[in-house]
Structure 1
């Protein structure tokens, strides 16, 4: 078990705490502000709803959360320290000196700073080699990007260990090769932000107009391809070279005010604040955060289904979690053939809820279908097998709905083979959340030749593995609710 110390528990620090904790790290939090504990607990509550259901595999068991009255207590023997105090360089330098007086020299000391360079952070340090920038994006527990910036004094092995650790908690670290103020992403954001402020100041657009332009237009494109790849497509078959030759001259036109900054006087502040209040339509910050998380989970899961963009990070995290889960990945990994096999271990995602606030009935079938797919893989009917021309088709399904479950709840499916032989595979699934039985499903499948689309006897390997499971589990009591008696013809 690894330990992280979170120094400063504002929005970003609390998000870091949730990201580490829900990925199995022990978390120690230091923040002298009285409201810090409540803020961390609120962020954790939101993260527990959103993050476990982002992928299709359960996260590891949560680490232990501790609130420390002293900073020295938080950082002592920690493997990683994540500093997220306000953006004042003197404060950060002073904090780093205090942290390093207690911190193990082999630990990583990272700053969430959005603007300062590691050289600036290291200025008063006796051990600059362990200091690095790890700049995340809000909400830290959902968004994968984190900019990792070393200086010339940062030890290369510290940078490499930081990259590995961040990947292990489901993030997408972006190494930044040169130190520049605000790194990469915030420099791009600042350009859009400045232009947006001018548009509001000059009464060209309201805050709502600008947000609509982003979220209904290029924001959707950027979520899946980014800037340069989007413009490459805009260049048609000529690609980026054609795009630049056709539209490059427009960069010299006076479209923007990127070199100017509007004065943030009281009138402009009140104008922006008033428009923003109108735009919120009375929704609280908590309500907006919850809606943001639902939106992000939906977008990220959609990208994961396509194996694209940030969805690749979700899939990579799933693959890593699957290796450590109770779900076997091959027949040889089934520990006990005489017991039901764990074929699904995940959490209920936010987009599986219905209008009653619990998992919709279609998702019960979805989860049981995934469990059946896992059993097919275990006996040898994997992607390569299907690509070669044979598979199983489900011909009959019976589901009993016994109890409800809501977002973020753990889901586990235990599967047994009722009977098998020739062309037939008869499975029984039980879905649980902790000790609660949520539903059962009985699936009857036929082995099929994909060329003729007709049933055909399964090969010896699949038949043998199914027979081993069916015979080993034959001593188990007949499941309550079994619709088809063992041995009945299809």
Structure 2
């Protein structure tokens, strides 16, 4: 599958910039990085390590090859041949203007320029630019490599075609681009967050609640709802059978009550800053930054998986992202059809281990499932094919565990087609380590289905054509002796004589 872009540049490699770098690189796009911070390379590598771990846990398909990340001493070198440039420098307008001037002087004329700014309007950023039409706000949320929303904001000077192409690029890397209708300070997301933040500062200042108590209110109540429904949809349900209009009529008068301090901001004195800092240390100080990031990522992944299962919200974005990964997994050069097909590789991470220190049972099935997906992609089952209501289901499996697969083991799955007819495909997987030792095998019977009708159906092109092309070579491979055998019958032992 061809990519919309082949190279991106990221100017700034901090928390947000590092997240962008990981998002692009793990999507198979080369990334050129410029950040003068002396620890930039280390910080980015640590973010990449965390992002790889998160994607491996989140995705049900192979990630595919990563893009190459390169570091450059000058901004000009980084942006020289980039198709898309993401700026993530500190929130100082004068600094951003300086960066954009340098980008314009060195970048290709057609390169798009996105800014991660959380507060400035695009018209403010475009001031002084020779070609302001190609710059826009692309504001993400942390962690960028997991949270899919990006606010795309243009100004009257922005080029509509540039914004449309930017949205296509964001979707290509698994983001959910939201076009903000008009430019406004802090866009949409941060204006909502600012309201909660201001009220929270007052609650701490007035000794109504501690930082931990406020966070508990969020994570044990409306934060759970917001993970899958937004504000208005949540309140629609709260309105009961009468709906949103009833909710507004019932609770609308409360808007005039003097509850909020949103029009006022507590002065951020040294005493208040120390108070917040001390409470935060007491709340979370037992965890390092990287530990907190891993906890956050794992919790987000669990939420994404639940949403994907229900085909809802961010789960739909994850499903679309996996479909693109599946398409991208097709090798550029077809393997030898007269040999087992090496279509999937994986390395065993520590979290795949069981209490014996070996790869746990369901991870074997996961690797074989990923290998089956890679095989199906190889014969042409892509998002378009499935979108037309056709798919392939696994209807029978037989696994054999032959070795104690340990952490860090590099695995290759070699796949052989044992036979097929109009509706079925029989395949055999052999999981081997780097030395060629067989770790496990799996035999699967796959059934082609009409997903709309919910029943088996004959395969269609390109699956039929590619299977036909594979068949002469695959027929020449001898089936392993264990193929087709059920588990050996074993009965109850004879009772001992009294």
TM-score range, shorter chain: 0.7 to 0.9
Does residue 292 in structure 1 map to residue 313 in structure 2? no
- Do 1:338 and 1:473's aligned partners in 2 also have CA atoms closer than 8 Å? yes
Partner of 1:16: 20
Does residue 96 in structure 1 map to residue 100 in structure 2? yes
Q: Which structure 2 residues correspond to residues 65-464 of structure 1 after superposition, within 5 A?
A: 65-326=69-330, 338-341=338-341, 354=354, 359-369=359-369, 393-394=395-396, 396-405=398-407, 413-418=413-418, 427-431=427-431, 439-443=439-443
> 5+ unaligned residues in a row in structure 1: which ranges?
450-456
Deviations 1:114-171 (A, max 9, x none): 0000000011212111111111111111111111101110111111111111111111
Deviations 1:1-49 (A, max 9, x none): 6222211221111111111111122211111121111111111111121
> 5+ unaligned residues in a row in structure 2: which ranges?
450-455, 490-498
1:221, distance to aligned residue in structure 2 (A): 0.9
Whole-angstrom distance in 1 between the partners of 2:410 and 2:314: 24
Partner of 2:47: 43
Change (3 A) 1:204 1:458: closer
TM-score (norm 2): 0.82
Deviations 1:338-368 (A, max 9, x none): 4445676778799756567875222222443
- Do 2:359 and 2:404's aligned partners in 1 also have CA atoms closer than 8 Å? no
Whole-angstrom distance in 1 between the partners of 2:380 and 2:34: 50
SS of residue in 2 equivalent to 1:59: coil
Change (3 A) 1:421 1:237: same
Whole-angstrom distance in 1 between the partners of 2:34 and 2:393: 55
Whole-angstrom distance in 2 between the partners of 1:433 and 1:172: 38
- Do 1:96 and 1:125's aligned partners in 2 also have CA atoms closer than 8 Å? yes
Whole-angstrom distance in 2 between the partners of 1:325 and 1:208: 44
- Out of 258-267 and 368-377, give the one that drifted further: 368-377
Whole-angstrom distance in 2 between the partners of 1:396 and 1:411: 19
Deviations 1:359-380 (A, max 9, x none): 5222222443565688799799
Whole-angstrom distance in 1 between the partners of 2:280 and 2:183: 34
Q: Which structure 2 residues correspond to residues 59-70 of structure 1 after superposition, within 5 A?
A: 59-70=63-74
Whole-angstrom distance in 2 between the partners of 1:465 and 1:158: 38
SS of residue in 1 equivalent to 2:402: strand
1:414, distance to aligned residue in structure 2 (A): 3.6
SS of residue in 2 equivalent to 1:51: helix
Whole-angstrom distance in 2 between the partners of 1:372 and 1:346: 13
SS of residue in 1 equivalent to 2:243: helix
Deviations 1:318-354 (A, max 9, x none): 11222222389xxxx9976544456767787997565
Deviations 1:54-91 (A, max 9, x none): 22222342222221111111121221111111111111
Structure number with higher relative contact order (C-alpha < 8 Å, ≥ 6 residues apart)? 1
Deviations 1:242-272 (A, max 9, x none): 2111222222222221111111111111111
Partner of 1:452: none
Whole-angstrom distance in 1 between the partners of 2:473 and 2:254: 73
- Out of 459-468 and 221-230, give the one that drifted further: 459-468
Does residue 476 in structure 1 map to residue 461 in structure 2? no
Whole-angstrom distance in 1 between the partners of 2:201 and 2:217: 14
Q: Provide the aligned C-alpha RMSD in A.
A: 4.1
Change (3 A) 1:74 1:229: same
1:439, distance to aligned residue in structure 2 (A): 3.4
- Do 1:18 and 1:47's aligned partners in 2 also have CA atoms closer than 8 Å? yes
- Out of 392-401 and 74-83, give the one that drifted further: 392-401
Partner of 2:494: none
1:219, distance to aligned residue in structure 2 (A): 0.9
Change (3 A) 1:365 1:99: closer
Change (3 A) 1:370 1:64: closer
TM-score (norm 1): 0.83
1:240, distance to aligned residue in structure 2 (A): 1.0
User: May I ask how many residue pairs the two structures share in their alignment?
Assistant: 473
- Do 1:416 and 1:469's aligned partners in 2 also have CA atoms closer than 8 Å? no
